[in-house]
Amino acid sequence: MALDKLLKQLNHKKLPSHIAIIMDGNGRWAKKRFLPRIAGHRAGAKTVDRIVTRCRKLGIKALTLYSFSDENWNRPKKEIDTLMSLLREYLQKELDTMLREDIRFNTIGHIEDLPLFAQEMVKDAEEKTRNKKGMVLTLALSYGSRREIIDAVKKIAEKVEKRIIKVDSINSDLFSRELYTNGLPEPDLLIRTSGELRVSNYLLYQIAYTELFFTKVLWPDFNETHLLKALIEFQNRVRRYGLTTEQIKKTNGTQ
């Protein structure tokens, strides 16, 4: 019932085109229940299913999930192995759903860092869904934004060195095309669960004008109701992009 009320409050004409999520709190969720960390990761994978499904139903064009950072390689090997196995299980289970729901699967990050079986499954899912148009589901895997920015700088420097481009031609559009997220719109809304108030090296360049939403809810407990509340708060904010309130009103024809 609460979900229906929230859906009625939602303005479906003002939904974000691109939502990015930092899925945080799996370990704390498990610890609170005296369970091993893997139980939290498995519960978190179920949340991914729910949120992807709801975003697809709402017509969200792009959803990007911070799944495994390049710093996560410092975790215990057993936990890393488990996370890679969960990635395999997710792709095996959800590929048919993505094909049926017109979802294109995408990844950003250094996929070559993943175990070979994970690389192969990721590439297979990307290839089989590459013509889907309904929504782009992106998993950030072995991803770090500082590394992404440095990679972009190196690519641009190499093009300058080879005289493919001139220094004076470097601008924000050219720089954006060298990022892993090339082809995706910049996120309109970034959600972080678990109560942490930081962005943790995630899409640092892309979120310059993104609305940030922080919630204390741990990721395994994050559900469709929480998502809709975040979307409603997003719709109640005024995105100024450096303009004054008066300028925004004139642009929107409200003055």
Residues marked as catalytic:
24, 72
CA–CA gap between residue 253 and residue 255 (Å, rounded): 6
- The answer to whether 22 and 192 are in contact (CB under 8 A) is yes
Token pair for 211:
């609305």
CA–CA gap between residue 121 and residue 85 (Å, rounded): 11
Token pair for 219:
């990721």
Using only C-alpha atoms, the chain has a radius of gyration, in whole angstroms, of 19
Token pair for 116:
């070979």
| Vertex 28 angle, CA 27 and 31, to 5° | 90
- The answer to whether 60 and 16 are in contact (CB under 8 A) is yes
Place of tokens 């991914």: 48
Q: Under 8 Å CB-to-CB from 200, ≥6 apart: which residues?
A: 22, 66, 69
